[in-house]
Amino acid sequence: DTAVSQTPKYLVTQMGNDKSIKCEQNLGHDTMYWYKQDSKKFLKIMFSYNNKELIINETVPNRFSPKSPDKAHLNLHINSLELGDSAVYFCASSQRGTGNHGYTFGSGTRLTVV
């Protein structure tokens, strides 16, 4: 069973479109994250949810909107896509508990905006 699964794996779309990426984890973790990895492999956190509550909201354009219907799901919706949004987006989850025990990552969604 895949622990953290993202769909789709690849997404090619035109500028100006709206798209969503879905993420689900079956680990029972209480915290989920979205990271963006650019062409230079730099990982930057975008959002984090703990038990459906937004706890980290880094400086990203408000065209990006996360939604967490329950603690096992964290989706990312992007409006009015731009060329600069092209990147690999990773979902991750962790159990906060008494310490940060590290993340389990999804396999990534490679978004290409043309």
Partner 1 sequence: AQSVSQHNHHVILSEAASLELGCNYSYGGTVNLFWYVQYPGQHLQLLLKYFSGDPLVKGIKGFEAEFIKSKFSFNLRKPSVQWSDTAEYFCAVGSGAGSYQLTFGKGTKLSVIP
Contact positions vs partner 1 (CB under 8 A)? 31, 40-43, 45, 48, 50, 55-56, 90, 94, 96, 98-108
Query: Taking the CA atoms of the chain, what radius of gyration do you get in angstroms?
Result: 13
Separation CA 114–CA 14 (nearest Å): 5
Of the pair 79, 95, the CB lying nearest partner 1 is at: 95
Separation CA 7–CA 96 (nearest Å): 25
Shortest Å distance, C-beta 63 to partner 1 = 22
Residues 6+ apart with CB under 8 A from 3: 25, 26, 27, 93, 104
Of the pair 52, 103, the CB lying nearest partner 1 is at: 103
Shortest Å distance, C-beta 94 to partner 1 = 8
Of the pair 26, 100, the CB lying nearest partner 1 is at: 100
Shortest Å distance, C-beta 79 to partner 1 = 25
Separation CA 84–CA 74 (nearest Å): 22
